Structure 1
């Protein structure tokens, strides 16, 4: 069965140190000053970007039809897989709680044999070893129609990578794992906007509407 494979990249999803207030995740809204000494501080503390993008992808017709294979990769390197028949919590605080459990135990629910989300790979290199290099959505990539990007990804079984961090560029190590860099607009777009356009195009390609 042909599917659209998506990996959300460099998500700013990290556990807050136990002595920080307003945990369990590092959140720029509460921890702005504490992030001042962190490397790449401009990319940290925004788990809400991952949350919003996951909600959009999971609620899509494409996902409901079982035609979306979804992963996300964190700023600390791990790659997680999301079940297509389950949903992350809509409430942001509940989302942060289950993400904290995920980072601690490697799956949620922690005791489930069929978890909602689980750690699939220790790093992005392992993901690429199994799935091949991915198509990276990048504001400086080659300008292409959304339908062209989606068609190429599906026909070649390549994942499409979308950045889910607030500012800056992808790490060089991430870019090196991309087979192509594409842009679908002349300026940068929010992660959830790119996600919407990709799944909408894939729905037109893969789903027969009566």
Structure 2
């Protein structure tokens, strides 16, 4: 089983500090989005990396459509910069339309789960990255340029927890380097989260299920 974590992801409700800014008032979205709220975000600390729900969306779409997920061997979690954890129920279909996806995230922040009634397809709880890692079993691999360069297959084990940064630039906010068993670098430059995700999923598929397809 692969557990895939998007850590310190830049997914958040618009902070109170900028809600009266004209750029915010013109927008109907409650989710901070750099493509819409860029001018207002300059009042926030670390504004250059914030407001990236698109990273979460692409990450979930790729995981959802992977062979590994279709085989029932993938579990996906989103950890946010504000220490919220989103649990995604296996088999959940991810909305492909970006604006509708943001609407779904608004519901999740408001109600703690979606749909608000009945069995939850996604559920949000307060919790740090360390809290999440303590719930899971398997070798903990962090993908980072600070790690040792090696082929991903060499690091993979049958039960594995892969941690990928959910931000466009910079480094992890959580002290994740202290929480893992191995830090792996797969390229000399910083790659988008979804590229690292694809490489990790395919490496796992090749090592453990390729002969069973």
Which residue in the other structure is 1:129 paired with?
134
Which residue in the other structure is 1:49 paired with?
55
Which residue in the other structure is 2:178 paired with?
176
Taking a change above 3 Å as real, the CA distance of residues 24 and 55 of structure 1, as seen in their structure-2 partners, is same
- Alignment RMSD (CA, Å): 1.8
Gaps of 5+ in 2: none
| Larger CA deviation: 125-134 vs 9-18 | 125-134
Of 197, 200, 204, 1:198 maps to 200
Moved runs in structure 1, 4+ residues, more than 4 A? none
Q: Equivalents in 2 of 1:134, 1:80: separation in Å?
A: 19
Taking a change above 3 Å as real, the CA distance of residues 68 and 172 of structure 1, as seen in their structure-2 partners, is closer
Alpha-carbon offset, residue 179 of structure 1: 2.9
| Larger CA deviation: 121-130 vs 186-195 | 121-130
Which residue in the other structure is 2:30 paired with?
24
Secondary structure at the aligned position of 1:99 is classed as helix
Alpha-carbon offset, residue 9 of structure 1: 0.8
Alpha-carbon offset, residue 209 of structure 1: 3.6
Gaps of 5+ in 1: none
Secondary structure at the aligned position of 2:42 is classed as helix
> Any conservation in 2 of the 1:27–1:45 contact (CA below 8 Å)?
yes
Number of paired residues? 203
Q: TM-score, normalised by structure 1?
A: 0.89
